[in-house]
Amino acid sequence: MAAVTLTNVVKRFGIFEVVHGANIDIADGEFVVFVGPSGCGKSTLLRMVAGLEDISGGEIAIGGKVMNDVEPADRGIAMVFQSYALYPHMTVEQNLSFGLRMNGNPKADTERRVRKAAEILRIDELMQRRPKQLSGGQRQRVAIGRAIVREPQVFLFDEPLSNLDAELRVQMRVEISRLHKELGVTMIYVTHDQTEAMTLADRIVVLKAGNVEQIGAPLDLYDDPANRFVAGFIGSPK
Ligand code: ADP
Ligand code: MG
């Protein structure tokens, strides 16, 4: 069980409040996309779920357990960022296994997890290459692989495709959808790209200036936007 629940979550940086009491319920296995313009608080919300940012008020629970004071490593999550900082001097295989080795994970289990991730992402052939010998899409696959080997209950993606060209973005979108179906785990995906949100999400959370404007399935938002902002952002005529 890894439902994710945000209850009245507030974030302040100094005197500036940037998230104003967010309530978001994410079901176990659901693919939820946070979408909204730059600066609306998407990354901040995700970083609070990950534990990379303290929360100023409210509560975040994962799998029914309150996470407010739990270290990132103990939250059962893995995060994929836009800048996929791979270790340049390590092979793909070493990049995938590094975190597990550092945590003292048993060798046989580490090898099993790395093999499984490589298979899921179809990067078996690239295991002995170094990052500079990979294309952008291949590098992003390795970055996702590093999340997969941790066998998280919840995947967090922060604009993972922003650095890729348009064609590759579409291709990786399909890959991420497939990954979600194959692994069946909860995914929270942040983007400012409406098309990405509409095609990936089971449900979309539309954010504007630190407020949740509407939560719903893509077509429900399209057919019945709560307000002009949602209508304009999702692209329906209302
Ligand atoms: P998004 O990811 O939607 O573009 P962010 O979550 O990065 O937005 O930022 C939300 C707001 O919080 C912005 O106004 C941003 O300037 C502010 N902010 C983000 N991080 C910090 C920080 N470390 N210190 C001060 N303000 C921040
Ligand atoms: Mg951001």
pLDDT in tens, 98-123: 999 999 999 999 999 999 999 999 89
State whether the beta carbon of 43 lies less than 6 angstroms from ligand 1: yes
CB-CB contact of 50 with 42 (8 Å): no
State whether the beta carbon of 191 lies less than 6 angstroms from ligand 1: no
What are the pLDDT digits (tens) for 157-171? 999 988 888 888 898
Average pLDDT score over the chain: 94
State whether the beta carbon of 15 lies less than 6 angstroms from ligand 1: no
CB-CB contact of 206 with 221 (8 Å): yes
Distance (Å) of CA 33 to CA 30, 80, 92, 138: 10, 14, 29, 23
Which ligand is located closest to the Cα atom of residue 22?
1
List CB contacts of 186: < 8 A, sequence separation 6 or more: 2, 3, 4, 26, 27, 28, 29, 30, 31, 32, 153, 154, 155
CB-CB contact of 48 with 57 (8 Å): no
Closest to 95 in 3D by CA, of 168, 136, 147? 147
Check: complex ipTM more than 0.95? yes
Does the pLDDT of residue 1 top 70, yes or no? no
CB-CB contact of 190 with 34 (8 Å): yes
State whether the beta carbon of 205 lies less than 6 angstroms from ligand 1: no
Does the pLDDT of residue 238 top 60, yes or no? no
Ligand 1 mutation pick, 18, 19, 159, max ligand atoms within 8 A of CB: 18
State whether the beta carbon of 210 lies less than 6 angstroms from ligand 1: no
**How close is the Cα of 126 to the center of ligand 2, in Å?**
30
Please, which residues have CB less than 5 A from ligand 2, an ion?
A: 43
**How far from each other are the two terminal CA atoms of the chain, in whole angstroms?**
38
